[in-house]
Amino acid sequence: MTLLSMTLAPADLSPGLSELLALRFDPLVWLPVLAVSALYFWHYARARRTAGGRARWPWWKPVLFVLGAVLLMFATQSAATNWTLNSMALYMARLMVLAEAVPPLLVLSLPRGLQLDPRQPLGKLLGVLLDPWVALAVWTAVIIFWNIPAGFNASVVTNTAAALLPLLYLLSGLMVWGVILRPLPTVQPAHIGSRGWFGLLAAFPMMAVASVWLYSRQVLYMPYVGALCLWDLSPLQNQQISGWIMMLAGLPALALALVQLLMWLIKLADGEQGGTPPAVGD
């Protein structure tokens, strides 16, 4: 992982929560989010007209959607982005919100039993993106390529991290959580056992990177070696806190994967086949 933000150096190196969360307006982020939100609530309002629609789309799903959208905006549009170079921990917290908090909220906010035709282009595309192999490979590539201190291609890593990495964390997080929670059963063949194995494997790269940061005795991430850090923390303390943040952020997905594996084992023990599991979260 490497980045150097082009933002002005903040004068205050002990910002409070209100300073960190002050929002800015970038139309390239706000407008798409507002458009998707409008589309979501338009469909929600239509669905609520029928009893079946209300059952498929209970009131708490829009609440999760709003929560996910709000977290997305704070992770990308708050003043915390100005302190990226002064706190690896703050930066990691933002990335983990995008990868491990926003995606499950957005996936769970989708109505139950979405019937997507697997023969249509959108169904085919989502069928590929939510293939466990594809999601695992993309997720692992994003975690490994941008987090290995040396970087496989320093120029690409350095010059894409600031703008591209948050988006990649969000998209690959959506893919991973899409596989785990299986919101589109008509295009997602994975049964609960394979989703459990998937969750376990998907947690591994992040946990490995988190462990390295947690236990390393030197600062591995170059731009932070001599960084001017927030709240009087040292760069090494920042790295260790980042490791904790990454590890804690990965725990819910890991726990869910273990639950799925246990459910699969129980099904096997009961002599059932794992072909038609219920979607997790129902």
Positions that interact with another protein (CB under 8 A):
3-4, 6-11, 13, 55-56, 85-86, 112-113, 115, 118, 127-129, 131-134, 136-138, 141-142, 145, 153-156, 158-160, 163-164, 168, 185-190, 194, 222-223, 225-229, 275-276, 278-279, 282
Q: Closer CB to another protein, residue 94 or residue 182? A: 182
Tell me how far apart the alpha carbons of residues 142 and 103 are, in angstroms, rounded to a whole number. 16
Q: Shortest distance, CB of residue 269 to another protein, whole angstroms?
A: 19
Q: What angle do CA 231, 173, 116 make, to 5 degrees?
A: 150
User: Contact, 186 vs 114, CB < 8 A?
Assistant: yes
- Angle between helical axes of 235-269 and 192-215 (0-180°, round to 10): 160
User: Contact, 72 vs 102, CB < 8 A?
Assistant: yes
Tell me how far apart the alpha carbons of residues 270 and 50 are, in angstroms, rounded to a whole number. 38
Q: Closer CB to another protein, residue 71 or residue 114? A: 114
Q: Shortest distance, CB of residue 281 to another protein, whole angstroms?
A: 9
| Widest CA span in the chain | 65
Q: Shortest distance, CB of residue 98 to another protein, whole angstroms?
A: 16
Q: Closer CB to another protein, residue 41 or residue 133? A: 133
Q: Closer CB to another protein, residue 17 or residue 150? A: 150
Q: Closer CB to another protein, residue 75 or residue 187? A: 187
Residue 28: helix, strand or coil by DSSP?
A: helix
Tell me how far apart the alpha carbons of residues 282 and 262 are, in angstroms, rounded to a whole number. 17
